[in-house]
Amino acid sequence: MIINSTPITTGTFSGMWVTNLVVVFPSAERPKGMIDGTLLPYDGTNLLATSGAKVSISDLTAARATDPVLSGVVMNLASECKRQAVKTSSPILLSVSAATPASPVTAMLGFADGTSHVIPDCFALCGTDQVFAGVFMAVMGEIARQAGLEIE
């Protein structure tokens, strides 16, 4: 056994951090669409690499038909993707990466016209764009709801 003279101290892991999220918007090529996300326990500083939650919606079209809240969030998300990239083409993919709370939360948007757009720091953009911030928070809240978590 190795004794650590400076053990890590943590708070209570009472929150969750979305480490990654992929949204495939329904399209002609992928009419069902999907959402896949991973959440890990978070204490405000540290992530706990176990006991996470997973969100997996394999048929987004069917889920939207029965869940008007989810449908509204996805519709607003698609509109915001187009606004951020200044596109008229429909978004087909959103990939959000937030490996650690110390790293920027990045988003990559893919569009039906074959182009893409990168948001290098979603939190920084939230600080300067209230519309983006509202959509971002709504999406994170919906992912939490889909994972069966309480939102404070």
Residues 74-83 pLDDT 10s? 999 999 999 9
Contact predicate 91/81, CB 8 Å = yes
Q: How many domains does the chain have?
A: 1
The answer to whether residue 48 sits within a structural domain is: yes
Which residues make beta-bridge pairs with 13? none
Evaluate if residue 1 carries a pLDDT over 70: no
Evaluate if residue 88 carries a pLDDT over 80: yes
Evaluate if residue 15 carries a pLDDT over 80: yes
The answer to whether residue 69 sits within a structural domain is: yes
| The 3-state secondary structure of the chain, one letter per residue | CCCCCCCCCCCCCCEEEEEEEEEECCCCCCCCCEEEEEEEEECCCCECCCCCEEEEECCHHHHHHHCHHHHHHHHHHHHHHHHHHCCCCCEEEEEEECCCCCCCCEEEEEECCCCEEEECCHHHHHHHCHHHHHHHHHHHHHHHHHCCCCCC
The answer to whether residue 94 sits within a structural domain is: yes
Contact predicate 84/118, CB 8 Å = no
The answer to whether residue 30 sits within a structural domain is: yes
Q: Mean pLDDT across the stretch 17-42?
A: 94
The pLDDT assigned to 152 comes to 67
The answer to whether residue 10 sits within a structural domain is: no
Percent of the chain scored above 70 by pLDDT?
Answer: 93
110-139 residue pLDDT tens: 999 999 999 999 999 999 999 999 999 999
The answer to whether residue 152 sits within a structural domain is: no
Query: How sure is the predictor about 7, in pLDDT bands with cuts at 50, 70 and 90?
Result: low
Percent of the chain scored above 90 by pLDDT?
Answer: 73
Q: Domain range holding 44?
A: 15-146
The answer to whether residue 9 sits within a structural domain is: no
The pLDDT assigned to 46 comes to 80
- Please give the biggest Cα pair distance in the chain: 60
The pLDDT assigned to 54 comes to 93
Q: Phi and psi (nearest 5°) for 23?
A: -120, 120
Query: How sure is the predictor about 4, in pLDDT bands with cuts at 50, 70 and 90?
Result: low
